[in-house]
Amino acid sequence: MTAESFEGESRSPGLVDGGHPATQPSSAPAASRDELVAIQNVAARLRAAYPQADAATVEATVGTAYGSFRQARVRAFLPILVERRARTVLGAAARAAVGEARTFQPPPAAGSGP
């Protein structure tokens, strides 16, 4: 492709027949088998890294992170981007859970004390 043809191309897909974006055909690239296997491996690594988190929570977090990149045109780095985003969310949830556990003070038992 020449530089002249690139300059003339639209970088974002236009609306078909001037319609609403939600009614337009999806331009999201289909996920390859290798990509799906890589995302499953990400979920397995995160389940191991965050054993305190429910497996369904880890799966949902990975699914949400993966879904946020559904329109990505360059798919080569998708697994690492998904893993970083999911680790950020899971790490924040883990830190919040530890913080709540540290701030909880059970009431003193009746009749004990000075």
CA separation for the pair 110, 94 (Å, rounded): 33
**3-class DSSP string for 67-93:** HCCCCCCCCCCHHHHHHHHHHHHHHHH
User: What is the model's pLDDT at position 103?
Assistant: 59
Which residues, 6 or more positions from 63, have their beta carbon under 8 angstroms from its beta carbon? none
> For the chain, which residues make up each domain, given as ranges?
30-103
- Residue range 10-20, pLDDT digits in tens: 333 333 444 44
- The second-level CATH assignment, the architecture, of 30-103 is Orthogonal Bundle (1.10)
Q: Which two tokens stand for residue 23?
A: 């009614």
- Residue range 62-97, pLDDT digits in tens: 999 999 999 999 999 999 999 999 999 999 999 998
Q: What is the pTM of this model?
A: 0.64
What's 51's DSSP letter? T
User: What is the model's pLDDT at position 106?
Assistant: 60
User: What is the model's pLDDT at position 42?
Assistant: 98
Q: Are 65 and 92 in contact (CB under 8 A)?
A: no
